């Protein structure tokens, strides 16, 4: 089942529509927009640096409510490397605190010692604080491998086309390193391999229309693509994970980026009925390893037809639990049950899932 996904942006969540915000003399329009390429972010920034957090200032009034769970007011950074702008190594930069919803990054006390890659604009002349607005590619340094591959050799690579991205794996049994990415053109297919950070890059691919498709190992699929262009209407309607490939256009002397996340392509599904053979809706279904049920959660809620489906299940043996919290409700007027509908764990039927295998059509009848 899915693990936490490494979110590579400094912002906490995209904002739907436009939210116009005002920080000291700065007006920013936050939009649900594609992440820029490294080249676009570099060109659109006045300052591009690597900096390390060295100290912070707390809110002085302890009665004041914390900002997103932290009392950090400002964070001081020390510049470690300059890619663009008139700063020097060793210069100090004091960052104002964000609030997580206005496209401004939130800093915490345990950020001291951490390194960041920042794409920034200079503060207004009458202001001393820097703000990271989260509209570009600013990252914690450990998540900036794609950017650094280009920035560290930028002088040699200017003017050349580049296709790059990051491949993440959601689940065990597959490494993000060594995966093959195919860039399929009209006359030629170009190939790239992901490195230890899951990053791939290709230079000097001729401008034109292409399809990007990772070579997927058996039992895996693309869960999500993230592109440096807006999604098409078809992609928005059908979902960005409707296919294991994505089309794009590469412009002359430009870059294009495709990040992707892979997940297991299997699932466990079934239907839950009451004693009158009527489908039961909003029944909480949990799938837990037979030898470890410490982390119970509601993995699926049945729909109006009583159907449930749990995706991306790792190979193993499992128990299915209904109403794991053992709280009777209108939708679940029964105690905690185990598949195929028993109260005694020792009588539960074990579900075995093999790698890439789909387990369908499980049937549970809840008897009074």
Check which CATH number belongs to the domain holding 201 and give it.
2.60.40.10
**For residue 40, what pLDDT is reported?**
95
Using a 10 angstrom Cβ sphere, with 0-12 exposed, 13-18 middle and 19 or more buried, the burial of residue 4 is exposed
Q: Point out the domain boundary residue: 264, 295, 326.
A: 264
227 occurs within a structural domain: yes
Using a 10 angstrom Cβ sphere, with 0-12 exposed, 13-18 middle and 19 or more buried, the burial of residue 364 is buried
CATH number for the domain including 24?
2.40.50.120
For residues 116-145, average pLDDT: 90
User: Are 278 and 237 contained in the same domain?
Assistant: no
pTM of this prediction? Answer: 0.79
For residues 14-27, average pLDDT: 32
pLDDT at 305 over 60: yes
The whole-angstrom separation of Cα 159 and Cα 155 is: 10
Question: How many distinct structural domains can be found in the chain?
Answer: 3
10 occurs within a structural domain: no
Residue 244: domain span? 160-264
Instruction: State the pLDDT confidence band at 172, using cuts at 50, 70 and 90.
Output: confident
For residues 304-332, average pLDDT: 93
User: Concatenated DSSP letters for 251-320?
Assistant: PTT-EEEEEEEEEE--EEEEEEEETTS-B--S-EEEEEETT--SS----EE--TTSEEEEESPPSEEEEE
6 occurs within a structural domain: no
User: Are 340 and 232 contained in the same domain?
Assistant: no
For residues 296-315, average pLDDT: 93
153 occurs within a structural domain: no
The whole-angstrom separation of Cα 351 and Cα 345 is: 13
User: Are 287 and 255 contained in the same domain?
Assistant: no
User: Are 240 and 295 contained in the same domain?
Assistant: no
The phi and psi torsions of 56 (rounded to 5 degrees) equal -145, 160
For residue 20, give both structure tokens: 């116009």
H or E segment and range at residue 44: helix 38-44
**For residue 293, what pLDDT is reported?**
77
HSE-CB for 244 with a 13 A CA cutoff:
16
User: Are 273 and 246 contained in the same domain?
Assistant: no
The whole-angstrom separation of Cα 332 and Cα 366 is: 10
Residue 83's closest CA among 132, 117, 52, 48?
Answer: 48
pLDDT at 11 over 60: no
Cα four-point dihedral sign 235, 241, 242, 244: positive
From 96-100, 127-131, 164-168, 299-303, the region with the lowest mean pLDDT: 96-100
CATH number for the domain including 338?
2.60.40.180
């Amino acid at each position: 089942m899915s693990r936490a996904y490494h979110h590579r942006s400094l912002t906490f969540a995209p904002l739907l529509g436009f939210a116009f915000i005002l920080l000291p003399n700065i007006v920013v329009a936050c939009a649900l927009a594609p992440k820029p390429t490294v080249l676009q972010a570099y060109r659109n920034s006045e300052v591009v640096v690597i900096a390390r957090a060295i100290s912070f200032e707390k809110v002085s009034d302890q009665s004041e409510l914390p900002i997103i769970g932290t009392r950090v007011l400002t964070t001081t950074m020390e510049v470690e490397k300059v890619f663009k702008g008139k700063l020097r190594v060793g210069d100090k930069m004091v960052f104002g605190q964000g609030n997580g919803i206005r496209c401004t990054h939130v800093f915490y006390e345990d950020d001291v010692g951490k390194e960041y890659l920042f794409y920034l604009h200079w503060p207004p002349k009458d202001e001393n604080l820097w703000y990271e607005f989260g509209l570009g590619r600013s990252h914690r340094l450990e998540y900036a491998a794609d950017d650094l591959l280009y920035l560290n050799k930028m002088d040699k690579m200017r003017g050349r086309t580049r296709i790059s991205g990051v491949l993440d794996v959601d689940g065990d049994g597959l490494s993000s390193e060594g995966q093959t990415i195919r860039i399929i053109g009209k006359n030629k297919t170009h190939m790239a391999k992901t490195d230890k950070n899951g990053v791939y890059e290709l230079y000097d691919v001729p401008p034109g229309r292409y399809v990007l498709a990772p070579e997927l190992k058996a039992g895996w699929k693309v869960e999500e693509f993230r592109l440096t262009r807006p999604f098409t209407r078809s992609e928005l309607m059908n979902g960005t994970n409707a296919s294991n490939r994505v089309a794009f256009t590469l412009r002359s002397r430009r870059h294009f980026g495709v990040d992707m996340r892979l997940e297991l392509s299997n699932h466990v599904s079934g239907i839950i009925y009451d004693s009158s053979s009527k489908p039961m809706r909003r029944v909480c279904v949990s799938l837990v390893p037979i030898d470890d049920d410490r982390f119970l959660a509601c993995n699926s809620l049945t729909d109006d037809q009583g159907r449930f489906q749990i995706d991306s299940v790792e190979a193993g043996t499992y128990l299915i639990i209904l109403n794991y919290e053992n709280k009777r409700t209108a939708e679940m007027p029964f105690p905690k049950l185990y598949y195929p509908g028993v109260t005694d764990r020792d009588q539960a039927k074990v579900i075995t899932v093999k790698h890439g295998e789909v387990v369908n059509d499980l049937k549970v009848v809840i008897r009074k």
